[in-house]
Structure formats: structure tokens, C-alpha cells
Copies of this chain bind each other. A is one copy, B any other.
Amino acid sequence: MNQHSTHVNRAPHIYERWLVAKLMRTAGSPPIRFQLWNSDVIEPYGQPARFTVHLADPKALYALVTNPNLAFGDLYSAGRLDIEGDLPELMDALYRAIHQARQQWPRWLEALWRNHAPRSAGLSEARENIHHHYDLGNDFYRLWLDQAEMQYTCAYYERPDLSLEQAQLAKLEHVCRKLRLKPGMTVVEAGCGWGGLARYMARNYGVHVHAYNISREQVTYARKQARKHGLDSLIDYIEDDYRNIEGQYDAFVSIGMLEHVGKENYLALSELIKRSLKPNGMALIHSIGRNRPMLMNAWIEKRIFPGAYPPSIGEIMAICEHSDFSVLDVENLRLHYDLTLSAWMERFDAEEEAISKMYDAHFTRAWRMYLAGSIAAFRAGSLQLFQVVFTHGNNNRLPATRQDLYSFPAAPKNV
């Protein structure tokens, strides 16, 4: 139990025990045992417990009952709620139970549980939202992302035994193949992170890349890396909002940015891609998504990713339909994100001490919850990972099949 615990020892009231039981029934009776502040135990209903949740004080219980969606993460972060067992597995079991149960919920309960509407993503809010998360510091992300190209998006495990580094490079290769890049082509990238895709494209495909990003720390890092590897003549890293993209390109690519764009900006994005793409140009959007429109998990939206919204394919289609784009290919890499996040979490846990020194224990626990919750969401199918390839509606210079994507392994042999 964490240093923040308040060490209450009084016996729980009978109605406090009842509240826990009621909460668990409402959540679909997941296989979770509750251990209260005085060590009293409440067993799950109908099945043996696979996990134990410790509640440090009565106030934690009241917070959990009042707003479980938000309080579970907050209490865990504060160390007032702790768990025995594998956190991603517990979250997976919890999500599945709730997913089942909420189909029977009365409307008032659904309304209580309701996730947050994402904050707006105007130019200045976008900068703030992105700063909140992505400018935590390159040193922080370097501790647990891949050592190859610092990819903070879903990797491509074309074989399950790949290392994180191999799988991230395979992702970059898979994306390049889908765009059918050829030497001398020009590419614009909206939201380039630490610039790894741009460098991969320049190095392996000899293309010219304009890569946009509003995170100053990331752009600084990206430029330094490009210079170091002699790729700066092929790449322009531009510290600016994607909405200010200029010029026409053979390819438009955006990996893990759509989640932060905001639905109200989709049609503008559509028009931007329309004018940025040459007549035979190819576009690829890679984004976390949903099987159907749903708001973002409230805790993630509030504490981790302000402004984030994972769209359904139907919602992404608004971008394509508005500009008469022809969708060529949609691939769902959902379980690849389970593998990616699990690799991240393993490294994160190994660096727990270093991270707690950089920030504090509360930050470390919040991020553990975020990683574990994300693993669970991809496993339970409440999040998806879509790669959508499209082109102008009148472009007939199309790849005949997708055979070329699979002609040889995408991952390098040794990294």
C-alpha cells in the first residue's frame, strides 16, 4: 500500500459492504474480491475471485460508488486503491463484465457512467492538449518506447515473436508499402512524433518528406536525429499545426494524430488532404478507433489525453465521403496494440523507480493505470486500430492487389 494511504481501521458499516456488493453487481459481477480498510473481505458473486482490490479508506469507497469511471483510476494513482494480480488482466475482466452488464442498465445509470465529451481542438487548445501529453520529456518516453525510432503508436507484429524494435520498424515498412512509395516522391506527414517515420521513408525509400508537429520537444529531437543520420536534406520537420500544411504531395500520411483532431475538424481535414494530394497521390490514416461511435473513457480523457476521441470507421468515412475519396484498404490491427502496449508496460515497470524519481509515485501509478487500461481496452475490443488507405475518386493508377505488401517480411532480421 502506498504512502498516501490514510490507514483507517474502523469496521465498515453494513451499508458500506452493501454498496460494494451493489457496485460489483452493477458492473456485471467481475471476478474481483474487495478487501476493505480493516481487512474485511467481500467476495465476488457467482464465481471465484481472480483479483483482489484493496480500498484504503471509506472515502475511497464513496468516491468509487459516486463516479466509478473516474475514481478507479484516480484512487489507484493516489495509492488509495491497490490491486493484487495482473493489472491489465484485471482491467480486461472488468471491461468485459461492464460491457455485458451495461446492455441491461437503466437509462439513468448509463447517463451517470457516461464518458466525457472531448474538449475542443482549436489551434490553441490543440497546442495545449498535445503539450500536456507529448512534451512530458523525451527522456521519459525514451525509457520505455522502442530504441529504434521512438514510435508512440501501434507496432506491426507480423510474427508474434518480434522484438518491440522489430515490430515498430515493421509498422513503418508496412505503412510505406501501403503508400506504394518510390524514390523521388514527396510525402507530407501530419503529426510526426519524434520523426521516425519520416527518417524511415527518407532512408529506405529515398522520398522527400515534409513532417508537421506542434510538439516543440519532439521536433527538436527529430531534427537532431535527421542531421545525425545525414537525412536532413530529404526531410523538413516543420513545427506547425497540420492545418497549415502547404503544397501538393504524392502521399499524405498521418499516424496516431486523428485521435486528437476532433470530429468537428474532420471536414476541414478532408479538404486539406484533397488539396494536398497530387492527382495520383495516396493517403493513409492510422488511428485508434471504435466499433461504433462512443465517447472516450472519462479518466483517460481527463487525466491522460485531453481532447482525445477514437472514431468509428463510419465516422472516419465522413473524411473520405466529403471529398469523394475512394477507400482502397482498411486494416484493423487491434491485437497488435495489445502486444505493443504490453511491451511498453514491461519496460515501464522495469523503469518504475527512475520514472518515479523524474516525476513522483502518483504520476507513475497513473501511467501504469493508463497502460494497463489501454491493454485491456484493446483486448476486450472496446478499442480498435485502423489503417485506412484512400485516394482521389478519379485516380485509376491503383495497385492491382495487395500482394506487394506481403512479398517479403516487413521486419528487419536483427535490431
Hey, which chain B residues are within 8 Å of A406, CB to CB?
A: 401-403, 405-407
A335 in the interface, Cβ–Cβ < 8 Å?
Answer: yes
Hey, which chain B residues are within 8 Å of A379, CB to CB?
A: 396
A104 in the interface, Cβ–Cβ < 8 Å?
Answer: no
A334 in the interface, Cβ–Cβ < 8 Å?
Answer: yes
**Interface residues as binary, A391-402 with B (CB distance below 8 Å gives 1, 0 otherwise):** 001111010111
Q: Which residue of B160, B318, B327, B335 is within 8 Å of A398 (Cβ)? A: B335
**Chain B nearest CB, measured from A275 CB (Å):** 15
> Which of the segments A135-143, A212-220, A260-268, A309-317 contacts the partner chain?
A309-317
**Chain B nearest CB, measured from A100 CB (Å):** 9
**Interface residues as binary, A286-325 with B (CB distance below 8 Å gives 1, 0 otherwise):** 0000011100000000000000000011100110111011
A65 in the interface, Cβ–Cβ < 8 Å?
Answer: no
Do B321 and A293 touch across chains, with their CB atoms under 8 A apart?
yes
**Interface residues as binary, A150-194 with B (CB distance below 8 Å gives 1, 0 otherwise):** 000000111110000000000000000000000000000000000
| A349-405 CB contacts (< 8 Å) to partner B | 379-381, 384, 393-396, 398, 400-403, 405
Hey, which chain B residues are within 8 Å of A335, CB to CB?
A: 396, 398, 400
Complexed CA–CA distance, A393 and B381 (Å): 6
A117 in the interface, Cβ–Cβ < 8 Å?
Answer: no
A25 in the interface, Cβ–Cβ < 8 Å?
Answer: no
**Chain B nearest CB, measured from A284 CB (Å):** 14
Do B325 and A400 touch across chains, with their CB atoms under 8 A apart?
no
Q: Which residue of B292, B329, B332 is within 8 Å of A321 (Cβ)? A: B292
Q: Which residue of B157, B327, B407 is within 8 Å of A332 (Cβ)? A: B327
A63 in the interface, Cβ–Cβ < 8 Å?
Answer: no
Q: Which residue of B96, B292, B317 is within 8 Å of A312 (Cβ)? A: B317
**Chain B nearest CB, measured from A160 CB (Å):** 7
Question: Which residue in chain B gives the minimum CB-CB distance to A399?
Answer: B335
Once A335-B396, A396-B335 are accepted as A-B contacts, the answer to whether A326 and B291 lie under 8 Å apart by CB is: yes
Once A317-B312, A317-B317, A326-B381 are accepted as A-B contacts, the answer to whether A402 and B400 lie under 8 Å apart by CB is: no
Do B324 and A332 touch across chains, with their CB atoms under 8 A apart?
no
**Chain B nearest CB, measured from A388 CB (Å):** 8
Do A326 and B321 touch across chains, with their CB atoms under 8 A apart?
no
Complexed CA–CA distance, A400 and B394 (Å): 33
Complexed CA–CA distance, A320 and B321 (Å): 18
Complexed CA–CA distance, A325 and B313 (Å): 11
**Chain B nearest CB, measured from A131 CB (Å):** 33
Complexed CA–CA distance, A312 and B320 (Å): 10
A330 in the interface, Cβ–Cβ < 8 Å?
Answer: yes
Return the 9 tightest CB-CB contacts between A and B, nearest first.
Answer: A330-B330, A314-B317, A292-B321, A406-B406, A381-B393, A403-B406, A328-B332, A291-B393, A381-B394
- A-B pairs with beta carbons under 8 Å apart, 24 shown: A96-B394, A157-B400, A158-B400, A158-B401, A159-B400, A291-B321, A291-B324, A291-B393, A312-B321, A313-B313, A313-B317, A314-B314, A314-B321, A326-B332, A326-B384, A327-B330, A330-B330, A335-B400, A379-B396, A381-B393, A381-B395, A401-B406, A402-B406, A405-B406
